[in-house]
Every structure is written in C-alpha cells, then in structure tokens.
Amino acid sequence: MPEEDDEAKPETAALLEELKSQLRKAETASNEYQKQLLVLQSRLDETMGEQIHLEEVTQNNLEKIEFLQNENKKALKQNREIERMQEIDKNASLREIENARERELELNGIVQRLKESLPYREPRKITDTNGTLSRTGKLPVLWLPFSLTDRLLIQQASVAGHHRVSRVDRLHHQY
C-alpha cells in the first residue's frame, strides 16, 4: 500500500493543488460578488433615499396644489359674492334713480299746478298776527288753492329738503 500511496501522492497533490486553485478562484469570485453586492446595496440605498425624497416632494406639492385649489375656490366665491353685491347695489341705485325721476315728475306737476293756480288767486296784504303790515316780508302759508294731495306732497318735500320744493315754497310765499 505504500506504493499506492506514493503513486497517489502526486495525484493527491495535483488534486489538492486543483482544489486550492478552485478555492482561490471561488474566494476571488466571492470577493467580487461581495464588492458588487456592496455597490448594488449602496445604489439601492441611494435609490430608496431618492424615492423617499421624491415622495415627500410629491406630497408637499400635492398639499400645495390642494391649498391653492382651496384658495382659488375661496377667491371665486368672494368674486361671486362681490359681483352679487355689486348687482344688488346697481339695482338699488337704479331703483333710487327711478324713484327720484318719479318724484321729480310729481314735483314738476305740483309746480305746474301752482303756476296755473297763481293767476286766479287774489293779492293779499302781508300782515303779521297783530294785523299790522309785516316788515319781514314773509307771507303766511296759504293752503286754500291746493288740493289735499298737493299739500301733502309739499309737506313731504319740504321735510325731505328737496331743492325743487324750495322753489315751490318761494312761489307759494310770493303770492
């Protein structure tokens, strides 16, 4: 058996050398794979970090978009409210203008009736309550030639301080 051992020794040595060579190759490959694994792990970590960062940016952008959309809705609502208020004011102004026109027409009618009734009135002396001639030049208020409606309109207009009524009052007091 020692001969077999002698013959087997070179074979064993060759096999052992072959195994050592394979082991070195395996260790080298393992080291290469380990390096590649570290590089890939590093890339994965970077990618995951970027993904987390991008998700945060996306979430922030979505929140900003939602905030801006809400602000836009509020602004649109305020604009509609302002437009509605402007429309209400415009309608109120138009009604006031129309009422003023109607009032002006009424007062013009009163002035016209006053002018028409003036020639039919008798001239009277201006006296105060004592029966003497008045030095102030103011005439007493005479309601006789006017209808009840005219008197009410004159009273309302004089209370309101309308400028046309003061002319009516002046016409009335002149006669």
What pLDDT is stored for residue 14 in this prediction? 86
Question: Rg of the chain over CA atoms, in angstroms?
Answer: 56
Q: How many angstroms separate the CA atoms of 174 and 86, rounded?
A: 46
Per-residue pLDDT of the chain (175 residues; tens, 9 = 90+): 556 666 668 888 888 999 999 999 999 999 999 999 999 999 999 999 999 999 999 999 999 999 999 999 999 999 999 999 999 999 999 999 999 999 999 999 999 988 888 776 655 555 555 555 544 444 444 444 556 666 676 776 666 554 444 545 545 554 4
What pLDDT is stored for residue 143 in this prediction? 44
> What residues contact residue 32 under an 8 Å CB cut-off, 6+ apart?
none
Distances (CA, A) of 127 to 80, 114, 119, 131, 162: 65, 22, 21, 5, 28
What one-character DSSP code corresponds to residue 124?
Answer: -
**Residue 153: how many CA atoms within 13 Å on its side-chain side?**
20
Quote the pTM value: 0.43
